[in-house]
Structure 1
């Protein structure tokens, strides 16, 4: 009876841990570039320890999603129970320690454990990992009660198959676009409306402190008791601390500036008709072969009466070098590179707007005229 109860609890622990790993690995696998960007954030946050290691971000992204997905599937199907239990324990031991440090020091805004599908703050991530670590400890502690479901070669074949599935998903989504989009710039989004703050939405709340000086002594005051009518006090400084964050619109960091540094964001979004945005967040990393195809796309866009802008986060000198290299005649505008990475997971990528609404997104290698011109 005791062994039966232990087996039931172990099966539940295996299922929960496995399901979480499968979900985590899957959402990373379908967005390998997004996961790579998050790994770059980590590497930059620990820049003193890992200098010039950002090149490893993409391979690490694919490897991490493969490991999590295969581990989760193996646990769910009870493949190599002893091995997978220890792998789960070691993995969660490392991740729990890492997320504790992140929660305490806050070097990144969120851990990215579930990609853009579910964004957790750093402390919530740590508590989640505590639960998963407890499940992993249970799996290790109850190994002797585990029963094998399959013969040895089937178990190894199954694990290899799950690894292969994850890798194939990552490569397909890397060469094209993620087939599930959890970001705020998905097809169907009205960008301008997504930037609006609804009337009556909660605003940011701040605790404001005033620093005044009198007879060489400085003292802090609040908004309620600062000496506004006492001329013997001299104002020195003011400090504002965010106490409670107000409403943040889904899109809050989108802007476009032209070559003269004029803001043309609403000129683009309010245009009645079709607009093509060629997204190249970093021209030094742009696929030149695909970028050269933009010249013909720009010519076709002019003939069809479409507006056309290239958005980049690169400096003007880099833009000039790119224009000389590719013969580009289309206008370049500036947008924050992080925003561009969020808009489309390709470099170059194409976004088609109609009246400010996103009606299509493509990796440049998938662009065909019958998809763009309607």
Structure 2
């Protein structure tokens, strides 16, 4: 009897090992990729976390959002690498299951209640809608369950405990170190519309041959004699109904997206002076070098940020004595706050005002600096990497 069942058991074991092997590779690579993509831009992922904090009334975590982003990205990378290497199988299996269930809840909540437009699973590199993310997490959960069920079959690729411990330490340091580095020194790869080489004016218009979103407008109309109320599309309304005096429009029309069109990369950049005048075109078409210092909220600058801003201001002031350039400070802070900072620090920078959303996309640093010429982003620096006067002269101004 025992002999008869042996081939069946062996076949079941082989099937389980094949399913486990594929699941480990798929889930491991996916977690590593997802973690690396977000760790490339932890500040951006931190902004996404703030959207979730707002939904769940956890705004008190906003100041820690970037560090939490670094933590989450690091954990994803660690779980993915440990899964592939076969390290800490029980902890990794539990970690994958709990994290996937948590993401599944978030994506479902975002999609069902329409509270967050993009989940941020793969950062700005691969934007996914909440429903797309939810479906992705459902599929992922199937493979994670396989890993969890057969976790006892996982064997470490490195048998020596000492070497395994050393490799684990290096993996942890690398996983968290990537996010910390990019938080201070800007992303390795910039997926944002204000990346180096992009021309801002060109990204503010619809390219030739491209179609924008197509909407259908719904009118609610009422018959004056019969009191009949019905809804018609804008096409139906314009097809003779508007000429019939017996019908009148009730309230405002509603819109419905019919066809998704080309999304203009920079649709919302408006630069205003203290009086509210729009100076966007004047600034982004300037043929000379523009040093654009970005500080989304100047009232949230730390002491280290103030020191960095002072160094940037001093360097630009020294350059301005020898070169024809313009220096700006863009902020979303109220004018009185910006004026106070300007007076306290004796800023050489002209202050202009922009909504926080485009400012956060310009440079992932507060403060950060863009070098523009004729609307093209020549170079970007964080508050730490902004170069000296001599380095700027050699690389740009002295040419």
Task: Provide TM-score, normalisation by structure 1.
Answer: 0.93
Query: Residue in 1 aligned with 2:112?
Result: 104
Q: Trace 1:87-236 onto structure 2 (pairs within 5 A).
A: 87-149=95-157, 150-213=159-222, 214-215=224-225, 216-226=227-237, 227-236=241-250
Whether 2:292 is the aligned partner of 1:277: answer yes
1:203 alignment partner, SS class: coil
Q: Please say if residues 352 and 372 of structure 1, whose CA atoms lie closer than 8 Å, have aligned partners that are also in contact.
A: no
1:228 alignment partner, SS class: helix
Report the CA distance between 1:56 and its aligned residue.
2.8
Q: Please say if residues 256 and 264 of structure 1, whose CA atoms lie closer than 8 Å, have aligned partners that are also in contact.
A: yes
Counterpart selection for 1:37 from 47, 60, 71 = 47
Whether 2:339 is the aligned partner of 1:330: answer no
Q: Please say if residues 184 and 251 of structure 1, whose CA atoms lie closer than 8 Å, have aligned partners that are also in contact.
A: yes
Q: Please say if residues 301 and 308 of structure 1, whose CA atoms lie closer than 8 Å, have aligned partners that are also in contact.
A: no
Q: Please say if residues 195 and 252 of structure 1, whose CA atoms lie closer than 8 Å, have aligned partners that are also in contact.
A: yes
Query: Residue in 2 aligned with 1:83?
Result: 91
Report the CA distance between 1:153 and its aligned residue.
4.8
Whether 2:246 is the aligned partner of 1:239: answer no
1:362 alignment partner, SS class: strand
Q: Please say if residues 301 and 307 of structure 1, whose CA atoms lie closer than 8 Å, have aligned partners that are also in contact.
A: no
Per-residue Cα deviation, 1:205-233 (whole angstroms, up to 9, x for no partner): 22212222324553322334433222233
Give the distance between the partners of 2:142 and 2:148, measured in 1 at CA: 10
Task: Provide TM-score, normalisation by structure 2.
Answer: 0.88
Q: Which runs of 5+ in 1 are unaligned?
A: none
Give the distance between the partners of 2:255 and 2:120, measured in 1 at CA: 29
Per-residue Cα deviation, 1:47-104 (whole angstroms, up to 9, x for no partner): 2xx2423123122111101100100110111112222112111211121122111111
Give the distance between the partners of 1:229 and 1:186, measured in 2 at CA: 51
Q: Please say if residues 269 and 354 of structure 2, whose CA atoms lie closer than 8 Å, have aligned partners that are also in contact.
A: yes
Give the distance between the partners of 2:59 and 2:184, measured in 1 at CA: 28
Report the CA distance between 1:330 and its aligned residue.
2.0
Query: Residue in 2 aligned with 1:364?
Result: 383
Report the CA distance between 1:151 and its aligned residue.
4.2
How many pairs does the alignment contain?
372
Give the distance between the partners of 1:195 and 1:138, measured in 2 at CA: 47
Flag the 1:203–1:172 CA change in 2: closer, same or farther, 3 A: closer
Per-residue Cα deviation, 1:266-303 (whole angstroms, up to 9, x for no partner): 11122112111011111012211111123323323422
2:116 alignment partner, SS class: coil
Q: Which runs of 5+ in 2 are unaligned?
A: 1-9
Counterpart selection for 1:297 from 279, 294, 315 = 315
Flag the 1:315–1:15 CA change in 2: closer, same or farther, 3 A: same
Give the distance between the partners of 2:155 and 2:183, measured in 1 at CA: 39
Further displaced range: 318-327 or 50-59: 50-59
Q: Please say if residues 80 and 155 of structure 1, whose CA atoms lie closer than 8 Å, have aligned partners that are also in contact.
A: no
Structure 1 or 2, whichever has the larger Rg, is 2
Further displaced range: 331-340 or 241-250: 241-250
Counterpart selection for 1:267 from 282, 301, 316 = 282
User: CA RMSD, aligned part only?
Assistant: 1.9
Flag the 1:306–1:221 CA change in 2: closer, same or farther, 3 A: same
Query: Residue in 1 aligned with 2:16?
Result: 6
Flag the 1:370–1:197 CA change in 2: closer, same or farther, 3 A: farther
